[in-house]
Amino acid sequence: MTVHTTRNGDVEIAYETFGTTGAEPLLLLNGLDYQMIWMHDDLCTTLAERGFHVARFDYRDSGLSTHIDATSSRSAWKALLAGSKSGPYRGDDLLEDCLAVMGALGWDSAHLLGVSMGAGIAQHLAIRHPERVRSLTLVAGLPMSTSPAASLKYMHLGAFFRLALHRYGKDRASQERMLVDVMRATYTPAYPLEEDWARCTATLSYDRMPPDPAARARQISAGRTLKATAQDLAAITVPTLVVHGENDPLIKPAAAHALAQAIPGSRMVTYPGMGHGLPRQLWPSVIDEVTTLTDNPAAHAHTPPAKPSPP
């Protein structure tokens, strides 16, 4: 794939596209510190084959986008627990980065598919820039009307701390192993991680930009500066789909119920056996859901197709 760049002020944002210009615009928003290549090429290609012009991008502080030259004395997990603090950038900058990619592609508006932290960013884009959002698909997300302290009740904190306390060396092999281990922890025995793909992606990820815990802390702190209320979520009017794994090891399914309840008319689909990642076996079902949502604004009120049983 050809990597393109656009700018938001002094920050350069790297992005890639799949599909045909003029097709339905779909912006993919990844999780915390995940480079865009962790949005599987095959998933992007399949979405393009279903009629979308797909874009994925590296958040600032990750991948081939501008890496912020700043220090942080806190770990990512301390940043999670502490909430927002002053930093080199704020959540509004992350939103503007998304809009910069859309602008570079000539998209006045787009469908958004956000996973984990990306689901939170998608919610805030719909709240602050409703004219730029056509629909929302929120995968493994938290309701953004909750405070940092309140959101902790939706998290499996033990899993977060196990990831945080595990120490790796700083050499290439150790860092690549860390990336695979973190990704593996988001999957489940019912839908396990594609190990070969993860190892190849971890190698490429390291070559593009080695992991930087300080960058993760800065992204978390920036995200914590974005504030929303229950009234803000209730004002979202675009078709919305909430997707969650019933065996998510990081975010409890209760978060999906709260999110679907907060956004009027939204539809929730949960999958038995699914974890925090989006496994290949469920792509057909999820893509059918997204296609229905984006083709027909009223589709989110219809009866969903039967969910596949975990293998």
Q: Are 60 and 95 in contact (CB under 8 A)?
A: no
> Considering only CA atoms, which of 204, 206, 180, 208 is closest in space to residue 194?
180
Sequence spans of domains, the chain: 4-301
pLDDT tens, 57-66?
999 999 999 9
Residue 111 sits at φ, ψ, to 5 deg, of -75, 145
The helix (H) or strand (E) run that includes residue 267 is strand 267-271
| Residue 297 pLDDT exceeds 70 | no
Q: What is the pLDDT of residue 207?
A: 95
Q: Are 99 and 129 in contact (CB under 8 A)?
A: yes
Give the CATH fold of the 4-301 domain: Rossmann fold (3.40.50)
**Residue 23 — very low, low, confident or very high, per pLDDT cuts 50/70/90?**
very high
- Beta-carbon contacts of residue 189 (< 8 Å; ≥ 6 apart): none
DSSP for 241-263, please give it: EEEEETT-SSB-HHHHHHHHHHS
pLDDT tens, 147-161?
767 788 999 988 877
Q: Are 13 and 56 in contact (CB under 8 A)?
A: no
Copy the structure tokens of residue 233: 């979520």
| Residue 138 pLDDT exceeds 80 | yes
